Structure 1
């Protein structure tokens, strides 16, 4: 059968944040069984090009069946894709796979209405489904799928998964645009706000295992079955082959857990040394499976950072999460990883059911004691299938499962507007803690800022900058495109653009450092011109209404832009949870479409904000004419254009 396999994207812009390795394995396997595959990886296209690409494929290819794979956060996007497909080719059956099918299967079938869904590892199950459809057999006899029995969804029971990963063919990377994935990355560095590596070059995805043997309460290994491993020799064979085929020498091991023991990591490093493979690589490990000799081997063979699940600095919370580590384990691991000069990637999680204000303070002290300034705070989210999801259901904290799952597709909106509070704290206390912890992330980053040695503007949105590590004084020079979210017209303006700085990994000592946005030469123009507008208000003794009441970036933005508080007539915000909160020494007032008339004839300053366009539209539709509007997001693009 001719099969169209689709990987949805979680971002509006073309990106290399994720490569669908799981779907590439499925594609390779069904091709080995005689089927044809067309791959569509929407990560490599901006949003406006995805529908045309899908429509073109459906209209010009003889497609027999369509497979879509994604996690639950793709719920709304998969819903949209199914509707588009059915408008064009209602005759083609649609099969869902991936994490979205492994939890809440009946809900998924009833709401998204696919023809079939594969549950678990899909190679064997999907192949059997294709064969049954091709031969006209009863699909209800195939274990491992959801199908329809009359008008009701039916699950056929657990299906068979591959026993030995090494028996599977190599993943079909080319059908899903591996060369586009490589091409979307920076030639000499990997740029992100969270972790920028200037010496890494383009990165290549590889899998050495599936799933994870541990059962943390906030995690669900959706659709991945039991923990299985590729032979390390085969993994290194793949790396060697990919170097020759794609000219890549930097590898991201996508595994949830690269190894549950030290011996496997040592074997990997030994083989890299024996074959003289000069690569760089990244993996995820547990903090209770480390020692200094192993870490030094990892460093010698090119490991430049490791991702760890830190989660908390409170033993009570680590126990509640079933992490099977203690805060002493974390302290000991951090010490030897730093001694080995390998970078640390990790998060603290807030909001476990056992969380209290005391455990938060304990974790905050632990974070400072260990100088984990770049291990950011995130919220515990009760993703479907996790133990804490079932806890939230039992406690009545999730009123409607479909509404909840759809809300997770806009994670920022969920975290600020409909977050599930599983603690004993009040909802107001919980939200206040969440906002303050997110703000703390940015404050912590600035505790270790890089020294800017030299810089010059190369292009409108690009500078060359030399920075010095504050820990070891190592210097590096980068050609830096900034902000990172750009299209052919320049930066995407739908957010606090240009405010968030970037965290850079030192290639020498492995420590992170922070580069402020305003210290980047072309960004300094924006800040200087916006500051000039604020200074003019003060010098002319003019008042202005400020919107919104900043939370996440308030501290760092007001460090970089000085606002004379005598100029602040009032502070407005459209978000109800910010009402009456103190900002710029004023109590925030709620702004809606009716109250926007109060801005008529006033100076209005719109600070960096996701919803800035909403207020501008209100002004237009209500025929409100402020005396002057100084909008960061609009000003941002114009400031450089006029330079």
Structure 2
């Protein structure tokens, strides 16, 4: 049998700023090659026409077995790939694997129509299956396998997870385009970790351990619940191979709990230092100590991520995080002391989430920024209710998910598992989106030099340490949104934003957020509208902020809110009976328009002007600031 291992994607690498070389398929590649199977591999991301390249490879190489897996979120991509494979070879055998199949073994196999699915770790199971296929043997005894029979899919006994990671062959990148992956990296890209440490980064992911000893409610570990690490001898033997073969200058450690063993971390630092490589990792906040971070910094570490997720004790408990605000603050203090980059996320929408708990997290975020001149949060988002997670299983038991199949087919993991109404849950999303638009440690732009139609050199001053940085060969696409986000400083490793269009980003943070969450009370001054002879008001931007300001206007007096307008209709809210207008409909005559599209106010403003609006347009964020100052007087 001829086997084709597929690293799947329907996008091109040159179109992405974020991509990490998949380790799972590389480990299976290494395992199958070490056992002598006839294996080829393809990374679709590096093909001009991914699906056509896959079709050609199957036909040209006369492939008998396709091995390609993914997450439940990649369901539609997998369906396309499997369909192309069967068009290229109607008799091809398709083997699935990865998180999607492991989270729902029978269901996801039925949905994708595979012949076999490998559940959990794949190195041993794939090889045993390949042996059975080569010699036409029975597969019913292969552990960790789902197979399709005449009467449907059957799931064999689970396979024990690999306890001795040193026993596995090193991953193989033959056919997976590792050279291209490294050659195409950019100073401003994200390849499992930021690559700002060099104008010519060659950052390679390397496995240090598997799984996690903690069981956060939103997380799912498809490679088993038992946390296990490689020996350092084994790790550095592999590192020597890649340094020699690929000339890497940085490594991203794949280990969710790298710092859980203090003695091991310090030994790692002592051994990695002579390589003069930049490296980054993931850590647990409670493991941060002076001696550990000192050793990390000395040995070339540029940063460590740890999951913050929430700063509400109620939510952290619901997430099963086993962390406290004090622990997180201590960890952040140490990263600032040793000038190590540190990023985390705030995710909203856990089962225990309310506007009060959301407010607790965002209050901490703003207070921390004022105290430390740094915002460590890289991303704001909803909790993603992934199949296989505790939240997912609870949602199904509570009938929030009524059909697992439909839920996976839809592919929308922003599921309301809170006790909030759907309208309030959507409003929480409006707050999240506005948080993303706030300026993140805004630094100073010193100079921009356009090299060609794709590359730009960028000279800037870090807002945290004040040192200057000069980035060469940045992607020009980063200069099209009015702000360059999350650039790392090579002196202090803090991330910052650099605003190119000050009009588009008028304010570093939005007072509308604490106003909406009722942290601050801002009222429309008495007679504000009547003193300006405004009797008829138009509202633009259908969102939670618009709904609240409509309520405030109606409470202010006899003011007629004539319409609320947006590019497209959102049925998420009841705007107190105000007529909804969308698209290119002509807007009724009013005395003033309030632009409530806070995140993209300038786009809305320019759109209204293009539509022929001659009425004065006021920006809600500016109004809130004026009203707040008026109350203070």
TM-score (norm 1): 0.77
Preserved CA contact (<8 Å) 2:125 2:144: yes
Residue in 1 that maps onto 2:166: 166
Residue in 1 that maps onto 2:516: none
Specify the SS of the correspondent of 1:248. Answer: coil
Q: Among 440, 443, 458, which residue is 2:435 paired with? A: 440
1:534-613 paired onto structure 2 within 5 Å: 571-577=565-571, 589-591=580-582, 596=584, 598=586
CA offsets per residue over residues 136-169 of structure 1, 9 Å max, x none?
1121121211112323111011024433111111
Compute the displacement of 1:438 (Å): 2.3
Compute the displacement of 1:238 (Å): 2.2
Specify the SS of the correspondent of 1:206. Answer: strand
Q: What is the alpha-carbon distance in structure 1 between the residues aligned to residue 500 and residue 565 of structure 2?
A: 25
Preserved CA contact (<8 Å) 1:547 1:573: no
Compute the displacement of 1:460 (Å): 3.7
1:271-310 paired onto structure 2 within 5 Å: 271-273=271-273, 276-310=274-308
Specify the SS of the correspondent of 2:29. Answer: helix
Q: What is the alpha-carbon distance in structure 2 between the residues aligned to residue 76 and residue 113 of structure 1?
A: 12
Residue in 1 that maps onto 2:490: 507
Q: What is the alpha-carbon distance in structure 1 between the residues aligned to residue 191 and residue 171 of structure 2?
A: 27
Q: Among 37, 40, 47, which residue is 2:39 paired with? A: 37
Preserved CA contact (<8 Å) 2:285 2:306: yes
Preserved CA contact (<8 Å) 2:242 2:248: yes
Preserved CA contact (<8 Å) 1:269 1:297: yes
Q: What is the alpha-carbon distance in structure 2 between the residues aligned to residue 551 and residue 10 of structure 1?
A: 35
Indicate the RMSD between aligned Cα atoms, in angstroms.
Answer: 3.3
Aligned CA distance change for structure 1 residues 517 and 196 (closer, same or farther; 3 Å): farther
Alignment partner of 1:422 is 2:417: yes
Preserved CA contact (<8 Å) 1:146 1:155: yes
Residue in 2 that maps onto 1:638: none
CA offsets per residue over residues 442-465 of structure 1, 9 Å max, x none?
2152xx211112233333454333
Alignment partner of 1:125 is 2:125: yes
Aligned CA distance change for structure 1 residues 12 and 72 (closer, same or farther; 3 Å): farther
Q: What is the alpha-carbon distance in structure 1 between the residues aligned to residue 389 and residue 471 of structure 2?
A: 42
Preserved CA contact (<8 Å) 2:188 2:487: no
1:207-286 paired onto structure 2 within 5 Å: 207-224=207-224, 226-273=226-273, 276-286=274-284
Preserved CA contact (<8 Å) 2:188 2:475: no
Residue in 2 that maps onto 1:378: 381
Aligned CA distance change for structure 1 residues 193 and 32 (closer, same or farther; 3 Å): closer
Residue in 2 that maps onto 1:465: 458
CA offsets per residue over residues 4-63 of structure 1, 9 Å max, x none?
0111127465446121211111111111111021111122235xx101101111111121
Alignment partner of 1:456 is 2:481: no
Q: What is the alpha-carbon distance in structure 1 between the residues aligned to residue 611 and residue 464 of structure 2?
A: 49
Alignment partner of 1:85 is 2:85: yes
Q: What is the alpha-carbon distance in structure 2 between the residues aligned to residue 590 and residue 28 of structure 1?
A: 58
Q: Among 346, 357, 366, which residue is 2:355 paired with? A: 357
Compute the displacement of 1:191 (Å): 6.3
Preserved CA contact (<8 Å) 1:189 1:199: no
Q: What is the alpha-carbon distance in structure 2 between the residues aligned to residue 133 and residue 590 of structure 1?
A: 61
Alignment partner of 1:95 is 2:95: yes
Residue in 2 that maps onto 1:475: 468
Q: What is the alpha-carbon distance in structure 1 between the residues aligned to residue 355 and residue 539 of structure 2?
A: 32
CA offsets per residue over residues 554-592 of structure 1, 9 Å max, x none?
xxxxxxxxxxxxxx997332242477779xxxx783536
Compute the displacement of 1:547 (Å): 8.7
Unaligned runs of 5+ in 2: 506-537, 546-561, 588-594, 614-633
Instruction: Count residues with an aligned counterpart.
Output: 542
Q: What is the alpha-carbon distance in structure 2 between the residues aligned to residue 193 and residue 463 of structure 1?
A: 23
Aligned CA distance change for structure 1 residues 261 and 10 (closer, same or farther; 3 Å): farther
Preserved CA contact (<8 Å) 1:18 1:43: no
1:100-115 paired onto structure 2 within 5 Å: 100-115=100-115
Preserved CA contact (<8 Å) 1:125 1:161: no
